[in-house]
Structure 1
Amino acid sequence: MLKRVSAHLLRHGISTFESRLCKNDRLFRVHPSVSEALAENRPVVALESTIITHGMPYPHNLSTAKEVEAIVRAEGATPATVGVIQGKVHVGMSSEELDHLARSKTSLKVSRRDLPYAISKGLSGGTTVSGTMIAAHRAGIPVFVTGGVGGVHRDGENSLDVSADLTELGRTPIAVVSAGVKSILDIGRTLEFLETQGVCVATYGTSKNFPAFFSTQSGFTSPYHVCNPEEAAELIAGVLSLGLQSGVLLAVPVPEQHAAAGQQIEEAIQTAVAEASAKGIKGRDVTPFILQKVNELTEGKSLQANIALIHNNAKVGSQIACALSKQMNGRKLRCTTHHLGKHPSDSQSNIVVIGGINVDFIAKGKTDKLLFGQTNPGSVCQSFGGVGRNIADSLSRLGHRPLFISAIGTDSHSDAVLHYCKHMNTRGVARLEEQRTATYCAVITESGELSLGLGDMDIHQQITEHYVSQFEQQLSSASLVCLDGNIPVSTIDYVCSIAKKHAINVWYEPTDSDKACKPFLSEAWKSLSYSSPNLAELRTMNKTLGIPTPEVPPGSVDEVLRCALALSRPLLEHLHCLVVTLGAEGVLVCGEHDAGSVNLQPRKQKRRGQLCALHYPALAVTSEETVNVSGAGDSLAGGMMAGIAQGRDTDSCVQMGLLAARLSLASPHPIAPVLTSDSVDPNKVQAQSWPKPRFMWMD
């Protein structure tokens, strides 16, 4: 019995679960700005929070914390202040969370030892150097800025009072940027202890003098020195590349104009140390007591110098983080240029596709209901997918040769996928060292409905603005650029800025409802020309723009169409055309009215005509014909793009897309190998009866 194409027919492939570089769990909370920066390989700087809870009085602590974050941002990095709030370790904090810690009178000082207790009791506290290092390393942040690190206390050879900061540096591969070690400590023994722990110590600047927090001179020298951010980044990269499980301590001297007060501060420190000893103050209470006493004795000069050196450390540390990010991205993106199937017209490609490339494993059950927790009868096949790859593949089979920009690893999957894509222009595909090619596994029922999907898609975040910018010439001269929702937000913003500058048409393929928002997080969406969302993705776009969003009704086709029209109308203030995929109900094409139809051809000026829509019913497909649904939506988009590029009328473009989608359903591959220009030419496919599309006004 014939049935309409299932709800997945015109979707953009099967929804995927995207692994993130930095995963939140019940104990760790990573701020969205930090997780996004990490996912996109942008520089992040970790910041400790004991300076907020124990280092300075309110409101100096709060203003300093916000100033430091502002300095990090000004240098081009993302700040990630670390702290514990109600038993959760936060990596990156909101303004309200910073204020909460700054005002708290009961916050703990949280080191490695204290983390389990603070978490188990649901307490709040400021993380020390060691506590911050643990959280930063877990989140994947390689650079951490602080004021000064702890050390071996005076008489430490007898008391065994050694800061946990030192042992943490010996077992956690983090670069700590500090102003050295406070002079209240035994600096000589501290350096010896760091050597024993295998910690690389270097002074930042031209001198090897190891600084003593308020003073540029401690009387000791560092084993090494680095002169600038690039040299510091090379040192850190060396530690990370070697896989050493120890950190790097970069000692940054306090700025000279504030070091002038160093002698007065040193004298106050000696007085405070003596008083602490006389009063029997020990352990973790020593440092806060001495800092408070020194601030009183110097009439605030020590606090000013403290703030100045922290500001300086933040600036230097951020510059180092940016240099490290640039170096690491550069190393990852030293790719082998692929000339498989090289074509004389490669350099003249007038369509560019930027997006993901996957190795897909499709497991199809032999029953309509799959039972979890046990083995089900079925078959498993491997194919090559990814939304961007599918669209580029479709266009390549339909007589075009788009430049495809993507990223793969250096594993066995990469060789297989490149061989399979030899008919495509893959010279824009980066082959990255120490990365895994994206893989996706879908479990579907006998009728082709998705039951479960799992994806390893981390490598898509390597399709960075920096890498894509290498193809700016091709982007600037393209007739059409297609972006899929797997690529980073910053890359989408960059391409949209190029499109705006050169009046390039951009097609955005959202891939799933979670990623549909990406261009709409900024003004980038106003540079889009086309998009092909389903209703869930269309709702996400509206929500992201703050537009009231009606629920999709479960009722009749008319109700669904009314909802789709209402959701499309606000976006067409800037987009040229929306292709709304409605699953079993077909396709709704919305845009500017032109001679009783929707004008799909690239616009040459701002919209002047009325808005209208055309509803095209889905094609009839038998359940026996449906092999998999993973590439139907991508085939639809590719077929329509090919028709637009050929200057065809709207009916022909949509019909090409629907025919390509039907071929995809009947193939084990997302894009059917039998796809050709003739196989989707409405004038040559004799057995197809085309129902007249339904016309609707939108204005």
Structure 2
Amino acid sequence: MNALRTAARLWKWRNPHFKLPTELRCYSSFHGRNQFGEINKFLKISEEVQDAVASSRPVVALETTIYTHASRLESIVREGGAVPATIGVLNGVARVGMAPDELAELASSSQTQKILKVSRRDLGYICGLGLSGKKMNGGTTIAGTMVLAHIAGIKVFATGGLGGVHRGGENSMDISADLTELGRTPVALISSGCKSFLDIPRTLEYLETEGVMVGVFADGREGSVDFPAFYTRNSGIKAQKIICDEAEAAAIIYAQSRLNISSGLVFANPVPGEFSFPKKEIDDIIEQALESSKLEDIHGSDNTPFVLAKIKELSHGKSVTTNTALVESNVERGTKVALELAKLEKGCQVEENRQSLGGVGHNVALAANYAGSSVLLCSVVADDLSGRAALSGLKNCQSNLQVQGIQVLSLATGSRTSQYVSVNDERKNLMLAMADMAIMETPEQHLDFDTCGALLSTAHGPAGSSSMRIGAQMSSQTRESGLFESAEWWQVINSLEMPSNGSRDRLVSATNSQLVDEGVPQQSIQLLPFIPCIITKLGPKGVLLTQILPHDDERLLSADYACYILSRSYGGGSNGPVGGVYMRLFPPEEVLGDKNVVSVNGAGDTLLGVIVAGLAKCEWKGDAGLRSLDDIIPVAQRASIETLKSTDAVSKEISGLEGLLRCR
């Protein structure tokens, strides 16, 4: 609110006839952005899961083909100390991490409509139809769950049984997509082996061909053990790799991840002994179920549900009890694996530690100074080790930054020099930040610009220049006027004369569809009554300039700038405040690869500092200084690139760009 009031004061200095509200309501169809960009139309990752993955906390993926047990399985994961990520499709949007009401909605919808079984091949279909208005629900298979888990950064997935090669699959080619998914998606699967009615030897051969490691948990057994066959602990097929415990499994997952191997892993967990069928008993039941399937000519995706239902019938429901027990056992085992994996990943998080002198004010001032402006930095530090190091660093840095405005507070005041610690991921993007800024709560000391002509002359140039006269006038008028009374915001918006029809197309033409979907240009326009010139930095998407043009601005009539003019106002006359709205997206000067980015910290500060330096270099004649932004912003973007490639908060290399900031 204070920021809006300050902006209102600045606007009144520019145009004292306007009274604007100090409260802003912003309308947009976009409610949030995340690192996945446009994918958020089709995929929603819960905040809990995103936070857990970003902080390397243990996460276990769960599939929704067993959504009837979802609440119980999530409880097992939470009780074990991990975060559950139940995965499915609700109303045409894929979900990774579902709220209780979403799980309930998915389960209840299965009673009134057919729930689509969603594998890899179905994800584009069900999400695409959802985008077009046909919203369907779906439970994900192992393959579908693995795809979405991998997108979300989840490495451990627990479920019941793995699909495989059906008996006779060498002729029918009836092979589960789960197997090919394991060959190309780096997610570790904990299951009770393959379903017993599948061709287990051929399934294991197929996984070997796909490059998938298959291990079997010893589960307290010594010597050789069998690969489990879902309902029974023994399949008659000896395991090639035996896993002693969850720590071993986690170490394998960790090594595979660090080696950047793109295939998955299978860890077979035998059904608890008290729920295991004797091998001969379940073999006889399965043979009868398969024979019934053959007689009724059941094929494809309908085959597995039919056989499972028949096994339930022939076992008098005992198979359901066993199924429930093995799924819960697998989820419990998967949770322990995820916990062990988190220990390994957290133990190797910090790869490099650097210290540099920073702070937004310092970075902006230093960037402006490197770009050729004479700058006085006003700040405060404590007389402690960090404060003395900061002052020493400022005095020894290769710049002409003036530091007489930095106040040093005695340790007796209990003050501490501000410090900021950031943790960046492997792509150098910010993951976590910690800051101690208590010193900024020190009682304010005011500087009267009207009585500091010599200081201003030293800091900014000749006191008689037009820019200095405007600065002094602004200081006096804003102090004398006080706060604005609230007035009609629409009065200003209407004066922009933005068309009510076709506005989206105009905004897309000026920017792009993604930014419009995110509401960025719309919100910039809504802020124009408070801030007549807005520069929005958009990272790798570039920089967006939005501003109100006066009636006499040459760009309103220039063919070179026609594509950036969103609207023209003809009702205000030559003395009116609004001539039109100007919007221009400056694409990035260069897109760096991950290996060339040292740190993103300070890049935005560098952009702002160079823009300020560029404006200070130009002679202000009315709004002439604002016109130079078209030339200044690309130079500022180049400066940001130099900082991205530097270990310093602001790169010294930007001093080489000073000559590009000369005003036209």
- TM-score, normalization by structure 2: 0.52
Q: Equivalences for 1:195-344 in 2 at 5 Å?
A: 195-205=208-218, 206=221, 208-260=225-277, 263-333=280-350
Alignment gaps of 5+ in structure 2:
10-31, 131-135, 388-396, 398-415, 445-480, 487-529, 532-602, 607-642, 651-664
Question: What letter corresponds to residue 117 of structure 2 in structure 1?
Answer: K
Give 2:43's aligned amino acid.
F
- Larger Cα Rg: Structure 1 or Structure 2? 2
- Match among 127, 131, 149 for residue 144 of structure 2: 131
Asked if 1:48 corresponds to 2:48, the answer is no
**Which of residues 370, 381, 385 is equivalent to 1:401?**
385
C-alpha displacement of 1:401: 3.3
CA distance in structure 2 between the partners assigned to 1:178 and 1:425 by the alignment: 54
How far residue 431 of structure 1 moved from its aligned partner, in angstroms, is: 8.2
- What displacement does 1:187 show? 0.4
Distance in 1 separating the partners of 2:362 and 2:212: 41
Task: Give the deviation of 1:332 after TM superposition.
Answer: 1.5
The answer as to whether partners of 2:384 and 2:417 remain within 8 angstroms in 1 is: no
1:37 aligned to 2:52?
Answer: yes
| CA positional deviation for 1:232 | 0.7
Residues 187 and 558 of structure 1, relative CA distance in 2, 3 Å threshold: same
Q: Residues 476-487 of structure 1 correspond to what in structure 2 (within 5 A)? A: 483=436
Q: In 2 relative to 1, CA 317–381 (structure 1 residues): closer, same or farther, beyond 3 Å?
A: farther
Quick check: 1:184 aligned with 2:197? yes
Partner residue of 1:162? 175
Structure 1 CA distance, aligned partners of 2:347 and 2:8? 39
Answer yes or no: is 1:80 the counterpart of 2:81.
no
Alignment equivalent of 1:65, drawn from 58, 66, 70:
70
CA distance in 2, matches of 1:358, 1:50: 54
- One-letter identity of the residue aligned with 2:295: A
C-alpha distance after superposition, 1:91-138 (max 9, x if no partner)? 111112212222323111111111222122222111100000000001
1:102 match: secondary structure:
helix
For 1:41 and 1:314, locate their aligned partners in 2 and report how far apart those are by CA, in whole Å. Answer: 19
Question: In 2, are the aligned partners of 1:148 and 1:213 still within 8 Å (CA)?
Answer: yes
Asked if the contact 1:334–1:431 (Cα under 8 Å) also holds between the matched residues in 2, the reply is no
2:42 maps to: 27
Work out whether residues 233 and 321 of structure 1, in 8 Å CA contact, stay in contact via their aligned partners in 2. Answer: yes
Gap regions ≥5 residues in structure 1: 10-17, 53-60, 342-354, 366-377, 383-389, 404-415, 417-423, 438-455, 464-481, 485-506, 510-528, 533-554, 561-582, 585-627, 632-667, 672-699
Partner secondary structure for residue 198 of structure 1: coil
Q: How many residues align?
A: 397
What's the secondary structure of 1:295's corresponding residue?
Answer: helix
CA RMSD across the alignment: 4.8
> In 2, distance between residues paired with 1:270 and 1:317?
31
Report how far residue 219 of structure 1 moved: 1.6
Matches within 5 A, 1:387-466: 397-401=381-385, 435-437=426-428, 456-458=429-431, 460=432
**Could you tell me how far apart the structure 1 residues matched to 2:209 and 2:281 are?**
33
Deviations 1:571-592 (A, max 9, x none): xxxxxxxxxxxx99xxxxxxxx
For 1:248 and 1:303, the matched residues in 2 are separated by 27
**Residue type matched to 2:93 in 1?**
K
Q: Which amino acid in the other structure matches residue 223 of structure 1? A: Q
Cα 1:340–1:97 change in 2 (3 A) is closer
Q: Is the CA contact 2:158–2:331 (under 8 Å) kept in the aligned structure 1?
A: yes
Q: Give the drift of 1:314.
A: 0.5
Which residue identity lines up with residue 215 of structure 1 in the other structure?
T
Q: 1:335 to 1:196 in 2, by over 3 A?
A: same
- 2:106 aligned to 81, 85, 101, which one? 101
Q: Take 1:483 and 1:190, find their aligned partners in 2: how far apart are those partners? A: 57
SS at match of 1:79: strand
Deviation sequence 1:422-466 (CA, Å, 0-9, x none): xx999997988x7244xxxxxxxxxxxxxxxxxx423x27x7xxx
Shift of 1:333: 2.6
Which has a greater percent of helix?
2
CA displacement, residues 247-293 of structure 1 (integer Å, 9 cap, x when unaligned): 01111111111114665444322211110111000111111111112
Q: Which residue of 2 aligns with 1:146?
A: 159
Partner Cα distance (1:242, 1:333) in 2: 18
**Could you list the per-position Cα deviations for residues 208-265 of structure 1 after superposition, in whole angstroms to 9, with x for gaps in the alignment?**
4211111111122333122112111110011111111100111111111111466544
Give the direction of change, closer, same or farther, for the CA distance of 1:66–1:508 in structure 2 (3 Å limit): farther
Q: Does 1:116 align with 2:127?
A: no
- Name the SS of the counterpart of 1:203 in structure 2: strand
Instruction: Specify the SS of the correspondent of 2:85.
Output: strand
Q: Is the 8 A contact 1:22 1:35 kept in 2?
A: no
Counterpart-to-counterpart distance in 1, 2:370 and 2:260 = 41
Offset of 1:318 from its aligned partner? 0.8
Is the CA contact (8 Å cut-off) linking 1:259 and 1:305 kept in structure 2? Answer: yes
- The SS at the match of 2:202 is helix
Shift of 1:315: 0.6
Where 2:53 maps in the other structure, the secondary structure is helix
| In structure 1, distance between residues paired with 2:235 and 2:443 | 62
Q: CA deviation at 1:360?
A: 6.1
Counterparts of 1:31 and 1:185 in 2: how far apart (Å)?
35
Structure 1 stretches (4+) deviating beyond 3 angstroms? 4-9, 18-24, 260-266, 338-341, 355-365, 378-382, 424-432, 529-532, 555-560, 628-631, 668-671
Any idea what the Cα deviations from partners look like across 1:350-372, whole Å, max 9, x if unmatched? xxxxx99999689999xxxxxxx
CA contact (8 A) 1:82 1:127 kept: yes
Q: 1:326 to 1:20 in 2, by over 3 A?
A: farther
Contact 1:215–1:254 (CA<8 Å) still a contact in 2?
A: yes
CA distance in 1 between partners of 2:211 and 2:443 (Å): 54
TM-score normalised by the chain length of structure 1? 0.49
Counterpart in the other structure of 2:95: 90
Name the CA shift for 1:119/1:359 in 2 (closer, same or farther; >3 Å). farther
Distance 1:107 1:19, change over 3 A: closer
Structure 1 residues 279 and 227: CA distance shift in structure 2, 3 A: same
Residues in 2 aligned to 1:68 and 1:230: alpha-carbon distance in whole angstroms: 22
In 2 relative to 1, CA 356–257 (structure 1 residues): closer, same or farther, beyond 3 Å? farther
Q: Map 1:481-560 to 2 at 5 A.
A: 483=436, 557=483
Deviates more, 1:219-228 or 1:276-285: 219-228
Identity of aligned residues (%): 38
Q: Does the 8 Å CA contact 2:59/2:154 hold for their aligned counterparts? A: yes
What is the CA–CA distance in structure 1 between the aligned matches of 2:226 and 2:77, rounded to whole Å? 26
